Homo-oligomer: A and B are copies of this chain.
């Protein structure tokens, strides 16, 4: 299945980025949403790795671009991208990561490596089902789930000191 665990394996990351941008353009067009230059640039920056990036990290990258942006610029772009399912916010880190299931209907489950910081996003149907079951068992109507698991990725289990 999705068991390739891509972020943890060497890969041509440029391909990830350009794929993400291509997908984003298509999705925004479909949804009649405007992927403006700033928004696209922020998405690209978020995708520069499989590690979550803080809003202020994005901000300083924009500054390096020569773009003299203020925090609201970044937060607005991130809001837009979240709204359209292109990035996720990792609540336990106050940081953002590109969505690897953009366009698909999914509930993200994030595996965050505490050693190398890489994040793998999974869609785990069985997990969602059990969560929904547990919630409705007490009469709770679930709308939104935050599921973030920290631990050690396969790579870092093997070699505990480098990323």
Contacts and interface: CB of A to CB of B under 8 A. Distances in A.
A130 B131 CA distance: 10
Contacts of A151: 135, 140-144
Given A3-B137, A138-B5, A138-B111, A131 B154 contact: no
Contact of A150 (B129, B144, B150): B144
A5 to B, nearest CB: 5
Interface string A111-132: 1011000001010101101110
A135 B157 CA distance: 13
Nearest to A124: B134
Contacts of A135: 111, 149, 151
A140 B127 contact: no
A149 B145 contact: yes
Nearest to A127: B130
Q: Nearest 8 pairs between A and B by C-beta?
A: A139-B154, A124-B134, A143-B151, A91-B91, A146-B148, A142-B151, A141-B152, A127-B130
A147 interface: yes
A46 interface: no
